[in-house]
Structure 1
Amino acid sequence: MLSRVAPWLASRRDGAAPGVVVRVMGGADTADLLVLAQQDAVANVFILSHLATAGTASPTGGGATIFGVFDGGTLIGACWAGANLVPVQLDPELAGEVAVAAQQSGRRFASIFGPAETVLAMYAALEKLGQRAHDVRDHQPLMTIAGPPAVPPEPALGFGRLADFDRILPACAAMFEEEVGYSPFLGGREYYSRRVKGLIRQGHSLVHLGPDDEVVFKAELGAVTPEVTQVQGVWMNPALRGQGLSAGYMAAVVVLAQTVAPVTSLYVNGFNTKARATYERVGFRQVGTFATVLF
Structure 2
Amino acid sequence: MLTMPVRQLGEAERGAVERILDHDPIGGAQVAERVATHGLSWWRADGRIYGYGSRRHLESLCWFGGHLTPVLASPSAVAAFADMILGEERGCSSIVGRADAVLGLWERLVPYWGAARDVRPHQPLLVADAPPAVSADPGVRLVRPDEIDLLFPAAVAMYTEEVGVSPMGDDRGRGYRRRINELVRSRRAYARVLNGEVVFKAELAVVTRHTAQVQGVWVAPHWRGRGLAAAAMAAVVRDSLRRVAPTVSLYVNGHNERARRVYARCGFRPAGEFATILF
Gaps of 5+ in 1: 1-13
CA deviation after TM superposition for structure 1 residue 51, in Å = 2.0
CA deviation after TM superposition for structure 1 residue 62, in Å = 5.8
The aligned counterpart of 1:194 is 178
1:115 aligns with 2:98: yes
The aligned counterpart of 1:208 is 192
**CA separation in 1, counterparts of 2:43 and 2:133?**
41
Mapped contact 1:58–1:66 kept (Cα < 8 A): no
CA deviation after TM superposition for structure 1 residue 24, in Å = 1.6
Structure 1 segment 83-232 matched on structure 2, within 5 A: 83-188=66-171, 189-211=173-195, 213-232=196-215
**CA separation in 2, counterparts of 1:71 and 1:128?**
29
**CA separation in 2, counterparts of 1:152 and 1:238?**
23
CA deviation after TM superposition for structure 1 residue 58, in Å = 2.0
The aligned counterpart of 2:22 is 38
**CA separation in 2, counterparts of 1:103 and 1:76?**
21
In the superposition, the TM-score normalised over structure 2's length comes to 0.95
CA deviation after TM superposition for structure 1 residue 40, in Å = 1.4
The aligned counterpart of 1:264 is 248
CA deviation after TM superposition for structure 1 residue 35, in Å = 0.5
1:254 aligns with 2:237: yes
Mapped contact 2:90–2:113 kept (Cα < 8 A): no
| Per-residue CA distance 1:135-154 (angstroms, 9 max, x = gap) | 11111111111111020000
The aligned counterpart of 1:79 is 62
CA deviation after TM superposition for structure 1 residue 130, in Å = 3.2
Mapped contact 2:46–2:66 kept (Cα < 8 A): no
**CA separation in 1, counterparts of 2:43 and 2:70?**
17
Q: Which of 223, 226, 230 is equivalent to 1:240?
A: 223
Q: Report SS of the residue matched to 1:129.
A: helix
CA deviation after TM superposition for structure 1 residue 72, in Å = 5.0
**CA separation in 2, counterparts of 1:62 and 1:177?**
27
Q: Report how many aligned residue pairs link the two structures.
A: 277
* Aligned residue identity for 2:130: G
CA deviation after TM superposition for structure 1 residue 226, in Å = 2.0
Identity of aligned residues (%): 39
Gaps of 5+ in 2: none
* Aligned residue identity for 2:185: R
